[in-house]
Amino acid sequence: MPTFERDDIALHYKVTGDGPPLLMLPGFMSDHASWMPLVPLLQNHFTCITPDNRTTGQTTPWDAPVSIDLMCKDALALMGHLGFERYHTIGHSMGGIIALHMAQEVPDRMASTHIAASAPVRLPRNTALFANLIAIRRSSAPEDTWLRALFPWLFNPRVYNDPKAVDQAVADSLAYPHAQSTDAMEHQLTALRGFDGTDLASPTCPTQVLIGALDLIVPPDHILAVLSHLPHHILEGAGHSIHWDAPDQVAELLCAYAAKHPI
């Protein structure tokens, strides 16, 4: 993966495909690999730029200062470094908040923005959930315990119809060589604890919202409470990991909306 150095970090990113640029911002705990189900569906339509946010993946150091604002500035600097003046953006979960921050800062650069399973809200329950997962990781419990506690929050319940598939997902996660450490996870959580998104709910650039009907982490009613004035779609059968549960639908909606707002 290429590296872009700015200020105090070495930001790693991947570029895949051909077409107008599409910046893809992952959520909390996630890096560029979280877009694995979606990139193959988009790479013939877009040049997909998938960075590792601060504290994740191969971006270093893991303990660099972290906040929504800093990750927004990283993304803007990366796209400038790559020579893209205007581009499409999709952000999942925390990445959606970063995308909304970008839309506020430089709306003229955002050809279209896509907010997936996200809203500019801070839910104390989620902070408690992640803190509890960190506590599990620091305990003497088997190393897969925290993942088995997390996955029901992320995915459509039908995933559990096949226990072998769950076991394989856990094994794949544990084997991933660039998985976020417990310390880095706790450090990144500070970005959410200090977040205030009250001024991000009304982007002036074209923005659509993609909602998982079964999302437990950012439930539909919480999203619609602040973003219902924007074009939005509720994807039946999708949980918080909307691009894993319904990648074809996400890709179709993204392509259709971006086509209405060409660069």
What pLDDT sits at residue 196? Answer: 84
Model confidence at 68, pLDDT cuts 50, 70, 90, reads very high
Q: Are 87 and 61 in contact (CB under 8 A)?
A: no
- pLDDT given for residue 230 in this prediction: 98
Nearest to 86 by CA among 24, 39, 26, 21: 21
Helices (H) and strands (E) in the chain, counts: 10, 8
> Averaged over 145-168, what is the pLDDT?
95
- pLDDT at residue 192, rounded to an integer: 87
- Residue 76 pLDDT more than 90? yes
pLDDT digits (tens, 9 = 90+) for 215-226: 999 999 999 999
Position 153 pLDDT exceeds 90: yes
pLDDT at 113: 98
Say how far apart CA 178 and CA 29 lie, in whole Å: 11
- Per-residue pLDDT for 67 more than 90? yes
At residue 50, does pLDDT exceed 90?
yes
Supply the pTM of this predicted model: 0.97
What percentage of the chain reaches a pLDDT higher than 90? Answer: 95
What Rg do the C-alpha atoms of the chain give, in angstroms? 17
Q: Coil, strand or helix: which one is 197?
A: coil
- Distance CA(33)–CA(243), nearest Å, equals 12
Percent of the chain with pLDDT over 70: 100
C-beta separation of 53 from 31 below 8 A: yes
- The tens digit of pLDDT for each residue in 90-121 reads 999 999 999 999 999 999 999 999 999 999 99
Mean pLDDT value across residues 66-84: 97
Mean pLDDT of 45-69: 97
Say how far apart CA 187 and CA 166 lie, in whole Å: 28
Cβ atoms of 93 and 118 closer than 8 Å:
yes
Q: Which domains does the chain have, with CATH numbers?
A: 3-260 (3.40.50.1820)
Tell me the per-residue pLDDT of 164-210, one tens digit each, with 9 for 90 and over. Answer: 999 999 999 999 999 999 999 999 998 888 888 889 999 999 999 99
pLDDT for residue 191: 87
Count, residues in the chain:
263
